[in-house]
Structure formats: structure tokens, C-alpha cells
Structure 1
Amino acid sequence: MYSFEERMKAVLLFMQYDCSPTAVIHELGYPSRGMLYNWVKEYQETGSLRSDDMLGKVKYSKEQRKQAVEYYLEHGRSASRTIRALGFPGRTVLRDWLKEDIPDDKRIQRCKTNSCLLRCTPEQKEQAVIDYCSGSKSSSDIAKDYGVSPNTVYGWKKQLLGEGTRATMPRRAETAQFDKLTENPEDITKILAEKERLQNQVKELERDVYRLQLERDILEKAGEILKKDQGISLVELTNREKAVLIDALRQKYRLNVLLNKLNMSKSSYCYQENTLQRTDKYADLRIKVKDAFEKAKGRYGYRRIHSMLKKSGIIVSEKIVRRIMSEEHLIVPFVKRKKYCSYIGEVSSAVENVVNRDFHADNPNEKWLTDITEFHIQAGKVYLSPMIDCFDGLAVSWTIGTSPDANLANAMLDNAISTLKESEHPIIHSDRGGHYRWPGWIERMDKANLTRSMSRKGCSPDNSACEGFFGRLKNEFFYCRSWIGVSIDEFITELDEYIAWYNEDRIKISLGGMSPIQHRRNLGLIA
């Protein structure tokens, strides 16, 4: 109880400190915020505060006293509920009324030790629930035994048995079955323990389902948005890709859950978010890179795409082109297949390896390379026999057929010889295949005064420049598409068009971004 001077001091400070209860309580150390507001309200209404003699002398009528006691008994015997509902009296006054008006056997008795209220132990709660569910005692009797209200007993039952449990067991049909359990209270205790164990197991399974569902959703979004394969590892994702996945799943999962699962810090995520929201300064360049890639029919990597852009007057780093192609998934297909072998034995004596892996030529028609390669499609097999000039990789001549016989190689050689001038006598290098050891081939070589050169047996690096031509041709033309439903004649036509495009339009970095024909035209070798 605060004196008149203490209460008045608090009210005056409240007004002095611009009606700030926090400042008053901080300085004086009293009272509570609600009490201070009551004092201020009283002061504003009456112009003063009650003296010490007037405090504590509030009188209540007999009807008010009777109303308070009856409300207490009829509404769960709760002093707080009674005072809150009626607005009177104070807790101390109500306690005094109860002591005088209610006999000891009707008041709730609570065990006290050292004036501290003791709570019922878990064992007492279980026994109370057993007594209540078995029907041996009513909720009121149990409440009196343990010094609690009936509502407390209901709360214990709900806490131990969960929602939807019946208050009492059936009296007839199921009584006999329940009596078997209630004969020994330990049975119900075991049931409660088993129920708790099963509930914990259910919670653990729910956590596992949540974790697996999260992983499944992340992998599905990675395949849907990022176009990743099913075997993608989340560890291999870049921070940018992780940020895109998080944005796609934010409506279903919390941010911290996604960050922990993807092993990404929040600062990295915020940085990537700011980056994603920026305007793409390479938007126009992306379109041009895609157009160049499509124009080359998906055969050019980033170096040749960069060269094409440079010719168009677009100056940009190769790394930027490579990054854009990677982000747009512009990938040149590459498949390594078993090559065709034309070796049929020692038809005639082999000649010396004159070229000896020196594929450099200062002028056109100094060194030529030849070989035969096979294309296996659904309609059958097709064979190509080209003649490649070491000067710039130009396909001087080529023949295409369905049989790798001598006529295929001889016809190609005749076409190549027809392009030579009288003073030009190149070295023609080949492997040890039977086509280059038959009398017809040797006769044509001698007649044109051409020098023969052969690789060592089973040594493909000795003719690696020609093998490289085949590799580029198959990666860019053959492996990158399906040939189902394409006839032999249609395939031969498309292959012939590719080699013509290879000579005329396909750029080579080693030639300064020009095709072989463009390179020769630039040197003034052809019109």
C-alpha cells in the first residue's frame, strides 16, 4: 500500500514528464503502469487523491457479498474469474468472505508446504484420468480429492489421451472388456506410454516425409527450370541456379529451410537476388548469338561464334560469348564412334611415309591427304572418300557411294587430278588401305607424276589431319541429329551440301575466321 505522499508524487511526476509512465516508474521504482493510470484518473476527476484513512474502507452491501460468494461457487471456484466478472471485491476481501461464509469441507483445499502451492505429479494425474475414464469416480469427486476444479481433470484427460476421447467408458457392452484393463492400472500406464512412443514415431516419419518431399521438389524444379538432368547433384549447382530454385519454391517452403538444404548462405542469396533483378545488358547480344548458332546449324562452338560476331562488327570477349552460350544451353553435340577400317591385307608393297606427320604446306596443292569413312544410318551404309589439301583444309574433291570399293577412291582421285596445273605434283598421303595399293590407283598416281606416301600400319596419328576432318564432319553433320526415315539418296544429297558449305562458308579460326575458299580468294589464288 502506497501512502498519500507517494501516490501524489507519482501523479505530479507523470504530468511533469509529459504523461510518460515509463519515466515515472524508472525514477521512482513504483507503481505498476495500471495503478499509475488509476491514480491519475482519480486525480483528474476529483482534483485530489484519497487520504490514507479513506483507503481500505470500501464497504460492500450484503447483497454484493452474497453475489460474489455464489458466483465463486457456481463458476469453478476461481477468485480471478469472480473478480473479473463482477468487478469487485479485491482478492483479499473475497478470501475473507469465503473463510467466513463457506465451511472448510466446501472450500477447495490445496496442499501447502512452506506457503508454496504444490502441483500434482504426473503419477497423480494419470491416476486421476484412470479413475475418471473407468467411471469409478465423477469429475467432481476427483477434483475434490486433488484440490482442483473439474475443468482441470478434463484438461488432464485431454493432455494424456488426446482429442476425441470419451469422458466415460460404456457401462454395458464394453464394460467387461474395459474391466480387464482397469483391474491393473499398470496396463493403462503401458498403453499411455505406447501411445506416446507411437506419436513420436509418427512425428519422426512426418519429418522424413517433409525432407524427402523437399528434395523431390528441388530436383523437379532443377529439371523444369534449369533444364538439368535427373542425375544432377545439388552440390554442383551454382549460386545463381540455387537462387532461381529458391525463388520458385518460396511459396511452399520457408527461406531458411531452402537455404540449409541447398547449403547456401543468406548473404549469397541476397546478392544473387540483386543480380537477377538487374537489367540484362547482354539481352541484344544473346539474340545475335542464338541467330549465329542457328545459322551454323548448331555446329559452331564459342570461338567460331565469336569470330562470326567479330565479322559483323560486334566486339565482345570470347568469355562473354562462352558464358552466354552456356546459359542458353547452346551446346555442340559430340559423339565418338568407331571408325571404318579399309585395311584388307598386304595387296602390294607399302611406300615410305614421306609426310611423316608434317601437315604444313606453304602453297596449295603441295600435300594432299585422303581416306575413306563410313556413315551407318537406318537405310544402310554410306561411304565418303575426300581429298584434303594441307594448305588450308580445303576438300579438293570427294566421292560418295554405298560401297567402299576401288571405283570410289579412283573416281575421287581423277577429279582431284583434274584440278591441278601441269606444274603441280602434290604428295598424296593415305593409310595402308587396299584402295591405295590396287594397280588402278598406282597407275593413276604414276601417270600424273604424283608422289605416294603411306602411314605406318595401324597408326592413325600419321594421318591425323584427315582424321580431324572426319571428326569435325561427323560431329557437326552426322551425330547431332536422327537419320530415321532418311533414304540413302537424301543422305548423300545432304552430305554433299555439307561439304560444299564446309569449303565455302564454314569459318576456321586458323584462317583468321575465314572459310578455305574465302581464304584463297583473300590471297588472290582464285577469282
Structure 2
Amino acid sequence: MYSQEKIAIALKLYHQCGSVTKTVQTLGYPTKKALYAWIHDEGKPKKERKILELINTKTHPRNSPVEVKMDALHRCFKLGESIKSVSEDIGYTRSSIYAWRKKYLQKDAVALMNDKSIQSETLEEGSVASNAKVEELKAQMLNTQLEIDILKETINVLKKAPGIDQTALKNREKAVIVDALKNKYSLPLLLGKLDLPKSCYYYQENILSKS
């Protein structure tokens, strides 16, 4: 990375001698490619840096939804977008994106979810309320992990964008997702979550087996 002073010196010398090669040879920096880029960008107004609005509102919660996290990871680590630009676009820090990726690679659904209905409560161990709460939490955890896994398969297997409406998937695509996850979840649970009738699933299975 060169300072603005060094860039200015290189551009001044280039305009004096009119040669990219001579400028680089005289100064010993930068590469020809870099100098061409500086010449191209010379005089252009610089983009104003977008200030991150680290606020906690309904449209921009401090703890972002899992869909936002997965979309950011897809853009940065699948599509190759700059983490800096994605960070500025979504309004969350770069360190947050790296933290989300770490949790994603660890397959930690709890860390990626933000279900505020899951709160610690003081309940007497063994009570009916306690047991009911535990079962409720387990069900929420299972549902959240299932949603994350379906989203992963939608991105990795079907190559769809994270923001896609899963109800808009074709039955064949839903069947592919079911096949990818049926060793982890029960078939009725997957079919119900994807709104795919059993008859349609077996029909698609028959077609896929012949392809």
C-alpha cells in the first residue's frame, strides 16, 4: 500500500516524462499495472466511505437475523465480494462477518440464531413447567437447525441465493434437499418443512433415479 504522497510523486513524474516504464524505473515503484490504475483513477472523485450505523432498530437489529448472516457469508466466501464492501452494505462490522463464518464452519446453530423467545428462566428442576420449557427449547433448537441446514443445501447444492423464498422452489429442487438431509432428519419433518407432499417427493425420486 502506497501513501498518497508517493502516488502523487509517481503521477507527477509520469506527466513530466510521459512514460510509464521510465517512471517505474526511476522511482523503483510501483508496478506498471498499479501506475496505470493510478493514472486511470487520477482526478476522479473518491467514493465517500459509508459509515456503519451500528444501531438497534426493528429493520437493523443489533443481533442480525440468520438470513442476513448466511447471505453475507455467501457473498463474501462464495461469490468473492469484498468483506469490507459487504460489511458497509449490510451495516455490520467485518469482525462480525468473520465471527459468523467461524460459527458457520463449527456448525453452531445456536450462535447463528437470534431467537429472543429463548430466554433463561428460573424454574424448579423437575417441575411440569420446567420440563415443558425444556421440550419447547429443544423443539425451537431443532427447528432453527433444520432451517439453517435447508438454507445451506439451498446455497451449496442448488446454488441459489440465500434470500430466495424456499416456498418458490420447484418440487424437484425440494426433493434434492430432502435427499441431502434425510439421514439427519425424519422424512415427515423435512416434507412438512418444505411443504412437499409425500406423493410428489416419491414421484421426483423416481425421476431423479432415472436421470
> Shorter chain as normaliser: what TM range?
0.3 to 0.5
Kindly indicate which of the two structures has a greater share of residues assigned to strand.
1
Give me the TM-score of the superposition, normalised by structure 1.
0.16
Kindly indicate which of the two structures has a greater share of residues assigned to helix.
2
Kindly name which structure, 1 or 2, has the bigger radius of gyration based on alpha carbons: 1
Higher relative contact order (CA 8 A, sep 6+): 2
Give me the TM-score of the superposition, normalised by structure 2.
0.40
